[in-house]
Amino acid sequence: MAIGPVPWLGPLLLVSLWGSSAPASLLRRLGEHIQRFQESSGLGLSLDPGRVALPKEGWLEQPLDPFNASDRRSFLQRYWVNDQHWTSQDGPVFLHLGGEGSLGPGSVMRGHPATLAPVWGALVIGLEHRFYGLSIPAEGLDVAQLRFLSSRHALADVVSARVALSRLFNVSFSSPWLCFGGSYAGSLAAWARLKFPHLIFASVASSAPVRAILDFSEYNDVVSRSLMNTAIGGSLECRAAASAAFAEVERRLRAGGSAQAALRAELGACGSLGRAADQAELLGALQALVGGAVQYDGQAGAPLSVRQLCGLLLGDRDNCSSPAPYRGLRRAVQVVTHSLGQKCLSFSRAETVAQLKVTETQVAGVGDRQWLYQTCTEFGYYVTCEVPGCPFSQLPALPSQLELCEQVFGFSASSIAQAVSQTNSYYGGQTPGATQVLFVNGDIDPWHVLSITQPLGPSESALLIPNASHCLDMAPERPSDSPSLRLARQNIFQQLQTWLGPAKKSQVRGGV
């Protein structure tokens, strides 16, 4: 049932800027920062109250445990609605799924759903993921509660939301529902069609890492290749400079004393670097900074592009006070931390663990603890650099990343490996067998290697966009967009035309 608005918990969203700076967390910060930037700039241009309706915020009462009918506990799940293009009750519904963070009004005002909605007269709905943003159960984030956080629970929410929202908005029985999502939410969009083809008519899954993996060394393989990609401002010299910068950081860490103290100040490490675990935190954050420049290359709001990062790493070589690559890396740290509003690039391992153990929603950030839980219990995705040829530090190694799951939640390394295997068995990994799903990826996005980049059959489509970064196809259109990106968006439109043309004629049936 629909519930009235609840008070806005502003501080909850601000805490994330000062939360844990573990490598995965820094990548999440970058993604959140870019999303907020694009939504605020896009909404500022388009939401003129005089000429367009503002999106509506609503709340659904959802079962906490949808797999146990005797458990009557519930939580409030937030959703957004844009009905300005909805022309008839039997028109399609475009459902934008939220992922591992807050979902705002931009989810129904920009990106594929909002851009394509006018053509088909679609109702656009954005559904925030359980346990993220403001859709967090009142009881908090202890392990007993987090048992109800998983992709399977999120998919059950999609089903119950479809039923409730169909009734609430008087959506026709014959209206086709299409799911859209990017990154983890892109996987959810694909899996929603896979598991509930009678309810979800089709899906567009952008940058969707559908294969779970424990040791994600391939991430840095793509980062390394992208740093050499001349089309986006990379070069062999840039990759060599990145490697040299990391080697200099490790040299100073080994030197200890004043060299280590200066390093701590110059690279924004909060706490001592005397412990190996704290050094690994710093080196992991630096890897995430470089990886983030590749992952979000060319996107509005991204602090650094590959071209800018390479410009810093290959900067003034005449200054002999310190090696040019290291100076460039220092400057890159300053640019990113300033953009994200962070006082530090990395914290001590002990502080990271302490912050991740906090279970009160008011101080737990917008998703660090929750997403760590999902990596420990479903996906892995631990980025490493231990294979030959990786240009960065071998720290943090996989064991230390798995240890975080044990320190925070008490999970063993073997249980995590088993969970990753079960996820792939349940969803099918990179051969899910879902029909009427379009997978969209960019070939410089490190996550594309876990997605589907080639068509698997006549109804299992895929687009691989040259020189495109993570979820770039979902970003607002810009004059600077490449011809290949524009073509990809045209192909997405044509795919929907293929699906929805017949759907309109046959009035595809879907049970509610």
pLDDT tens digits along 317-340: 655 556 899 999 999 999 999 999
Are 191 and 134 within one domain?
yes
> Is 247 within the bounds of a domain?
yes
Q: What average pLDDT does range 408-433 have in this prediction? A: 97
pLDDT in tens, 335-355: 999 999 988 898 899 999 999
95 touches 64 (CB < 8 A) = no
Q: How far is CA 392 from the centre of its chain?
A: 23
Give catalytic residue positions.
183, 445, 470
Q: Which residue has the tokens 């983890």?
A: 184
Within 10 A of 400 (CB to CB), how many other CB atoms are there? Answer: 18
- Establish how many alpha carbons lie within 13 A of residue 303's alpha carbon, considering only the half-sphere containing its beta carbon: 24
Are 188 and 242 within one domain?
no
pLDDT in tens, 450-489: 999 999 888 889 999 999 999 999 998 999 999 999 999 9
DSSP letter for 381, please. E
Q: Rounded to the nearest 5°, which phi and psi values hold at 172?
A: -65, 150
CATH number at residue 289: 1.20.120
* 446 pLDDT higher than 90: yes
161 touches 93 (CB < 8 A) = no
Q: What average pLDDT does range 13-37 have in this prediction? A: 64
Within 10 A of 67 (CB to CB), how many other CB atoms are there? Answer: 10
Q: In whole numbers, what is the pLDDT of the chain averaged over residues?
A: 89
Residue 41 pLDDT: 67
* 509 pLDDT higher than 60: no
Q: What average pLDDT does range 122-151 have in this prediction? A: 96
Q: At what angle do helices 276-295 and 23-46 cross, to 10 degrees?
A: 30
DSSP letter for 360, please. -
Residue 320 pLDDT: 57
Are 306 and 353 within one domain?
yes
The more confident residue out of 221 and 36 is: 221
Residues 6 or more apart from 33 whose CB is under 8 A from it?
A: 301, 303, 339, 340
Residue 53 pLDDT: 67
Strands of the 74-82 sheet, one edge to the other: 2-3, 56-63, 74-82, 123-127, 93-97, 177-182, 202-206, 437-442, 460-465
* 201 pLDDT higher than 70: yes
Question: What is the rounded CA–CA span in Å between residue 335 and residue 290?
Answer: 12
> Is 138 within the bounds of a domain?
yes
* 273 pLDDT higher than 50: yes
Chosen domain end from 334, 361, 388:
361
> Is 314 within the bounds of a domain?
yes
Q: What average pLDDT does range 119-134 have in this prediction? A: 96
Are 226 and 122 within one domain?
no
Its domain, for residue 290, covers 214-361
Residues 6 or more apart from 498 whose CB is under 8 A from it?
A: none
430: tokens are: 């990179």
Residue 427 pLDDT: 98
Residue 37 pLDDT: 85
Within 10 A of 44 (CB to CB), how many other CB atoms are there? Answer: 9
269 touches 333 (CB < 8 A) = no
99: tokens are: 């992922």
Residues constituting the chain: 512
Enter the pTM of the model.
Answer: 0.91
Question: What is the rounded CA–CA span in Å between residue 186 and residue 206?
Answer: 5
Chosen domain end from 310, 334, 361:
361
Are 299 and 198 within one domain?
no
* 508 pLDDT higher than 50: no
Q: What average pLDDT does range 117-135 have in this prediction? A: 96
344 touches 268 (CB < 8 A) = yes
472: tokens are: 């770039």
Are 142 and 180 within one domain?
yes
Are 226 and 195 within one domain?
no
CATH number at residue 135: 3.40.50.1820
315 touches 244 (CB < 8 A) = no
Chosen domain end from 340, 361, 382:
361
Lowest mean pLDDT among 313-317, 337-341, 388-392: 313-317
Q: Which residue has the tokens 């929202």?
A: 165
> Is 286 within the bounds of a domain?
yes
Band (pLDDT 50/70/90 cuts) for residue 362 is low
The number of folded domains in the chain is: 2
CB-neighbour burial class of residue 240 (10 A; exposed 0-12, middle 13-18, buried 19+): middle
* 229 pLDDT higher than 90: yes
Residue 19 pLDDT: 31
Residue 473 pLDDT: 96
